[in-house]
Amino acid sequence: MDARAGAAPGGAIAPPATEIPLSADIAAVRETAVAVLRANDLGDITRPSPTLYPHQWLWDSCFIAIGLRHLDPARAAAELLSLLRGQWPGGMIPHVIFAETTDYYHAGPQRWRCDRVCTTAGGVQSTGVTQPPMIAEAAVRVGQAMSREDRADFYRRLAPGLVRFHEWLYRERDPDDTGLVTLVHSWESGMDNTPTWMEMTKPVAPRAVRALRRINGDDALDALRRDSKEVPPDERLTSADLFTLYRIVRELRRSRYDFRTIRSTFVPLVQDVAFNAILARANEHLETIAAEAGVRIPRWLSRSMRRTRAALNELCSDGVYYSRNFRTGELLRHHTIAGFLPLYAGVVPESQVDDMVDTLMSPRYWAQYGIASVPTDDPAFLPRCYWQGPVWVNMNWLIADGLDRYGRTEAAAAIRRNTLDVIVSSGSMYEYYSPLDGSGAGSNRFSWTAALLVDMLDNGARPTSRAQAAIPTTRTPA
């Protein structure tokens, strides 16, 4: 069931924006968002931000396409089709596809050396890991904004590669047929320094990092890193964690990115709850896309896809969903935003939904601006530090979407209103926002914030008048 107004599956949506006019102030914020998307447009890919992320990221491109469909559906479709250029022969779609740019990026092709392992479909350079499989969701949204013929053409071009991607996820990353896909790096989860992943990552810190930590040499590490030029280091993951993530990349490279080899190394392996929840929803969309494109989904894949829905509920304990350590089978008992994504997947039993919504709306997660990525009373909580507390626009979008399908439309509307409040009162498209005071943090001119703002506004969501009153008169330049 798709509860969005006017969104008949497979049918075109009439954008409600034309029905509910935007006030001049809100229209100006939307223009700022559109300007950010235009400035980050590199042809048929959109970089997440002009400085920190100069290439193409998998799930960023998906959220970006969801917004772009309101501006130019064909361009939105191109954003998704361009991801197939990075597809590996085995089916993986990588987390970063490197653009033709000389702009500095701290984890560029030299760190991965994937060209030694394989050639991608489009001959482009990429990383050797994947990211949350949002493509099918984005494709269905883009398809809704197209004519029937254009959509059929778009789906025919996308479907074969997309089916191969889902096949790879199960064949390579669920070899034991558990129904849950296993991740080999926190960058695959998209939530680089969430406490769950940091618990798994810290014990494998390189020896030099451990030694420097013992003598309190964090400053020495900070001096070595180069990803924090635009963003203050305390809004990113710690240097020690970053160098540990580089060590894991090194080990993956030595394992030629092959899960059978990786399994016998020290690399932490996690059945990530958010990733698998996104996969569960993507599987449903994949069926729609494949049917419309006339592409067959192999029977074994359909069986695995069905298993994911049931397996997600094995990750639930006392009403809370957690990720699981693949090696030990233990749940990683950290309360984080990832635990709410089963609402987006639609796998939470009806009897549990209201309790989860109450938790979400409680001051633990919703101090002033919701939803905090780590509860505000958690020892790991840092309001402006990456995935350790800030509000993320994409998470709010996903959870609100799930709540709509559960018929919790008021909660969904409150989340969207609050999301718009926080963006609108900052006047800028930040990567993330403090749940305590709404201040923007991380990279500015961030594409998915801009794209999802456009999507929410054009689907009729509005900020409160309180936020509109707070719109800065001198706006930060886009």
Which residues make up the interface to ligand DGY (CB under 6 A)? Answer: 95, 107, 187, 192, 227
CB 372 within 8 A of CB 389: yes
Residues sharing a CB contact under 8 Å with residue 213, sequence separation 6 or more, in sequence order:
205, 240
DSSP state of 17: G
The least distance separating ligand DGY from the CB of residue 339, rounded to whole angstroms, comes to 21
Instruction: Provide the pairing of β-strand 331-332 with 323-325.
Output: antiparallel
Give the whole-angstrom CA distance, residue 29 versus residue 269. 41
Give Cα 155 to chain centroid, integer Å: 22
Amino acid at 218: D
Amino acid at 239: S
DSSP state of 250: H
- The enclosing H or E element of 395 equals helix 393-405
Give me the residues paired with residue 319 across strands.
none
Give phi and psi for 410, each to the nearest 5.
-70, -45
The least distance separating ligand DGY from the CB of residue 405, rounded to whole angstroms, comes to 29
**C-alpha dihedral, 188 to 190 to 193 to 198, nearest 10°:** -30
The least distance separating ligand DGY from the CB of residue 16, rounded to whole angstroms, comes to 34
Task: Enter the tokens of residue 432.
Answer: 């993330």
CB 22 within 8 A of CB 30: yes
Give Cα 76 to chain centroid, integer Å: 17
| For ligand DGY, the closer CB: 107 or 320 | 107
The least distance separating ligand DGY from the CB of residue 105, rounded to whole angstroms, comes to 7
Length of the chain counted residue by residue: 478
DSSP state of 219: H
Instruction: Provide the pairing of β-strand 316-317 with 96-97.
Output: unpaired
| For ligand DGY, the closer CB: 192 or 455 | 192
The least distance separating ligand DGY from the CB of residue 200, rounded to whole angstroms, comes to 16
The least distance separating ligand DGY from the CB of residue 244, rounded to whole angstroms, comes to 13
The least distance separating ligand DGY from the CB of residue 131, rounded to whole angstroms, comes to 7
| For ligand DGY, the closer CB: 107 or 118 | 107
CB 449 within 8 A of CB 422: no
Instruction: Say how many C-beta atoms besides its own lie within 10 A of residue 110's C-beta.
Output: 7
| For ligand DGY, the closer CB: 155 or 187 | 187
| For ligand DGY, the closer CB: 106 or 254 | 106
Tell me which residue has its CB nearest to ligand DGY: 187
Tell me which residues are annotated as active site: 192, 431
Q: 338-351: b or e for each residue (b if 16 or more CB lie within 10 Å)? A: bbbbbbbbbbbeee
| For ligand DGY, the closer CB: 51 or 261 | 51
